[in-house]
Every structure is written in structure tokens, then in C-alpha cells.
Amino acid sequence: MIDETVVPIALVLHLKDGFSLVNNIVSENTKKEFTASDTWFEETYMPNDSLHTTLGSAGEVRKFGMYQINIRVPLNEGRIGALNYAQEIGLKFKPGTKLLRNGYEIFIEKCEPAQGFQDDNWYLVPVTVYWSCDMTIN
């Protein structure tokens, strides 16, 4: 049996571990109010297809996906403020990083920021973490 909660929990815990603004991380479909002077982060977990790496109904499956963190900084901090946080996240999710959770290894393939833009009262920079994980099918 594959535990589908392992990867998102491992990614969130890794992001929050030692992160400077841990209380300002909002998960998908969570309501929390922020003012225009607040810096906050919105996370989204996006699993992708699986690839069977062995033959038969038992064996291993390689799961792939993305974990996106939208960095929102006040407009007066702008691009530089957001990119500083993007760099901090990039250091946490360096390519080759292995996260261990409940006997599973989650491999960080790459982490990259996208072009930033203004969104309401914030400057937003999305950072996408690409991951993979081999899971055993019982």
C-alpha cells in the first residue's frame, strides 16, 4: 500500500524547518488574512503521474510531482525582497537533497523561481520544487 501523504508532509516539514517566517506559510484551501504589509507564502502540492519501475502488480512505482511556493512580499519590498526568500527556499531544496519520511526517500530534482509579478498588494514570485519518490507496492 502506498501512503500518499508521505511526500506532501515531508516537503512541508522541510520548508518549515528553520524557516524565518514559519507562521506565515499558508496551505492550499486554507483561509488566513494578511495585510498589505505582511510577507507570506502560499504552498501548493501537485502530484504527477507514476511510472512503474518493476514488472507485475507488486514492486516499485516512481512518483513525480511539483511543490510550488508562492512568495508574496509587500510592494515596497518588490522583486529584491521576494528573490531573497526565493534564494532561501532554493538553498533548502537544492538538487540532490534527499528527504526521509516513514521509510521513503523523496529526491529533490530541481528548484527554480519563475518570473515575478504584481498581484493585488504584493509582489509575487512562484518557486517550484520538482521531486520524485520510489514507493513500494504491496
Residue 19 lies in a domain: yes
The pLDDT score that the predictor gives to residue 64 is 87
Residue 27, pLDDT > 90, answer: no
Number of domains in the chain: 1
Question: For residue 7, how far is the Cα from the chain centroid?
Answer: 10
- Polymer length in residues for the chain: 138
Helix, strand and coil in the chain, % to nearest 5: 20, 45, 30
User: Is residue 87 situated within a structural domain?
Assistant: yes
The SS3 call for residue 76 is coil
Cβ atoms of residues 51 and 65 within 8 Å: no
**CATH number for 87:** 3.30.2000.20
- Cβ-based neighbour number of residue 42 at 10 Å: 19
Task: Quote the pTM value.
Answer: 0.86
pLDDT digits (tens, 9 = 90+) for 101-121: 888 889 999 999 999 999 888
pLDDT given for residue 53 in this prediction: 58
Q: Which of 137, 135, 124, 130 is nearest to 85 (CA)?
A: 124
Structural domain including 48 reads 6-29+37-137
Q: What is the DSSP letter of 84?
A: H
Indicate whether 1 belongs to any domain.
no
Considering the domain boundaries, does residue 101 fall inside one?
yes
At 91, list the grid cell.
538553498
